[in-house]
Amino acid sequence: MITSQQTALLLVVLAILIVPGISRILRVPSMVVEIIFGVILGKSVLKLEFTGEWLPFLAHLGFLLLMFRAGMEIDFTMLKRQSRGQLMFQVLFFMVTLGLATLAATLLSRGFFVALMLSTTSLGLVMPTLRETGMSRTPMGQDILIAATLADFMTLFGITFYVLYIRQGIDWRFFLPIPLFLGFGILLRIGRVWVWWHPAGAERILGIQEDAQEIGVRLSMALLFLFVALSELAHLEPVLGAFLGGSLLAYIFREKPLLETKLSAMGFGFLIPVFFIHVGMQFDLTHIMKPEMILFSLKLLGAAVTVKMAPAALLLFRGRKPREVFQAGVLLSSRLSLIIAAAAIGVENNLIKPEIKDAVVFMALVTCFLGPTLFKLITPTVGSGGPNDVVK
């Protein structure tokens, strides 16, 4: 049924308004409710079709902002504190995950792209869950955070270059992103040095000093679109640009709670929910309701959990207890934004079929709900005893 823009706008705004209340009552993440709301509106249930380009545009903008915020979540101070041995361990952790994901993709008769998708995790879910349980600064929490950061970073790069390779093979255009990365590296340094020399100016950007012009928000938006534009020029995925823009901000400003609050208000308050509703609307339940697709979805879910749970066993070599290994595996199994983005990219480049994308969205919905919930159930909060030896 074709619906007018006005009705669609009313429905989406209403959803954005009531979803936080519903998610609180149901005790599930609000993004899950938003996707389900989109599923009800879209192809699967009410089959509403909205006219105009505004919803896809806002959803895309929300998605870019989500990736920008994911980049901002990277804790470079924590990464710098890690010894070479610890970082090597984390690289090994990711390589084992990718190896197992490749094996799983082969067993599912899928290509390397599915392996890359399975290797993702959701830093956006891992970080708040660890903070909520008071574990973000414990050695265990740090191990999980670094694993999630590396998984997000490496898979994003992997997906970008894999798509580039599929599109044009290995020729001079494959190396076009190199100047972008070099420029990114130089910008990192220059930005950090500028902040070091001009702390008062930096405080204005971060909102620590009163600034009615909101220079920090303007700078963040400029960075987001600059990197998106640059990645388009280098034939890279815009999500990578958005992620790099966010990580640039995270590298330059190591503590930025006020700016994060402002960007979150703009992103999580409106644009990002629109993205999740749009994802839900694109989801076609009939795709995964076929017996063979139900089986495939279950296998995909099993693979998604296994490729994270099995490498987590490596933590035993770092002196972690079996229960902690289970905790890490459960939380790292959570997927959401990046895997959905990867699925969209896969469909766009004919690397996966639309029904596989829907199976991936289904898997993301299940893991993003179960991962953090199970983790919280088996994790004692700080102060009640347990493994939360705070990092000094």
Partner 1 sequence: MKAVICGAGRYTRNLLGRLGDRWRITLIDASEKALKELMDTHATVAKVLAGDAASPVLLDKAGLGETDYFLALTDNDKVNLAAVRFARKAGVPHILSVLYDLSLEAKFQKLDVHLLLPGNMVGNTLYHYLQDPRIQVFSVARGTGEVVEIEVTRDNWIAGMSVTVLEDPEWRLAGLYRAGEWMPLTGELMLAEGDRLILLGKRNFFRSVCSVLACGHMPFPAPWGRGLMIVLNGDEGAETLEEGMYLLRNTRVGHVSILYDAVDMPDPTAHIDRKNVRHDIRLHPMDGRLTDTVKTLCRKDQIGLVVMRPLGRSFLKSISRPETIALAHELACPLLIARNSNPYDRILVPFNGTAMAALALETAVGLAEQIGALVDAAVVQEPDFIHGESRESWSDKTFKKVREISHIHKVKIGEIECRGNPVKEITALAERYQLMVVGSTNPQKELLTPHVGELLVERTPCSVLILASGAP
> Which residues are at the interface with partner 1 (CB under 8 A)?
75-78, 186, 189-190, 192-193, 195-200, 202-203, 206, 208, 253-256
Shorter beta-carbon distance to partner 1: residue 95 or 186: 186
Q: For residue 381, give both structure tokens.
A: 């909060």
Reported residue count of the chain is 392
What is the smallest separation between the CB atom of 185 and partner 1, expressed in angstroms?
Answer: 9
What is the smallest separation between the CB atom of 125 and partner 1, expressed in angstroms?
Answer: 22
Q: Give the integer Cα–Cα distance in Å for 24 and 94.
A: 34
Q: What percent of the chain is helix, strand and coil (3-state, nearest 5)?
A: 75, 0, 20
Q: Give the integer Cα–Cα distance in Å for 108 and 127.
A: 31
What is the smallest separation between the CB atom of 220 and partner 1, expressed in angstroms?
Answer: 14
What is the smallest separation between the CB atom of 216 and partner 1, expressed in angstroms?
Answer: 11
Shorter beta-carbon distance to partner 1: residue 175 or 194: 194
* Whole-Å CA distances, 28 to 35, 124, 148, 272, 370: 12, 15, 21, 17, 9
What is the smallest separation between the CB atom of 387 and partner 1, expressed in angstroms?
Answer: 22
Shorter beta-carbon distance to partner 1: residue 140 or 202: 202
Q: For residue 288, give both structure tokens.
A: 């995964």
Shorter beta-carbon distance to partner 1: residue 75 or 143: 75
Shorter beta-carbon distance to partner 1: residue 82 or 373: 82
- Name the nearest CA neighbour of 242 among 62, 57, 35, 117: 62
Shorter beta-carbon distance to partner 1: residue 53 or 255: 255
Q: Where on the phi/psi map is residue 257: left (φ > 0), alpha (ψ -120 to 50), or beta?
A: alpha
What is the smallest separation between the CB atom of 74 and partner 1, expressed in angstroms?
Answer: 11
- Name the nearest CA neighbour of 361 among 286, 284, 294, 309: 284
382 Cβ partners below 8 Å, 6+ apart?
A: 133, 134, 135, 138, 388, 390
What is the smallest separation between the CB atom of 202 and partner 1, expressed in angstroms?
Answer: 6
Q: For residues 197-223, b (16+ Cβ closer than 10 Å) or e, as one string? A: eeeeebbebbbbeeeeeeebbeebbeb
Shorter beta-carbon distance to partner 1: residue 47 or 198: 198
Contact present, 67 and 236 (Cβ < 8 Å): no
Shorter beta-carbon distance to partner 1: residue 192 or 299: 192
What is the smallest separation between the CB atom of 201 and partner 1, expressed in angstroms?
Answer: 11
Q: Give the integer Cα–Cα distance in Å for 331 and 308.
A: 9
User: For residue 31, what are the β-bridge partners?
Assistant: none
Shorter beta-carbon distance to partner 1: residue 167 or 198: 198
What is the smallest separation between the CB atom of 138 and partner 1, expressed in angstroms?
Answer: 15
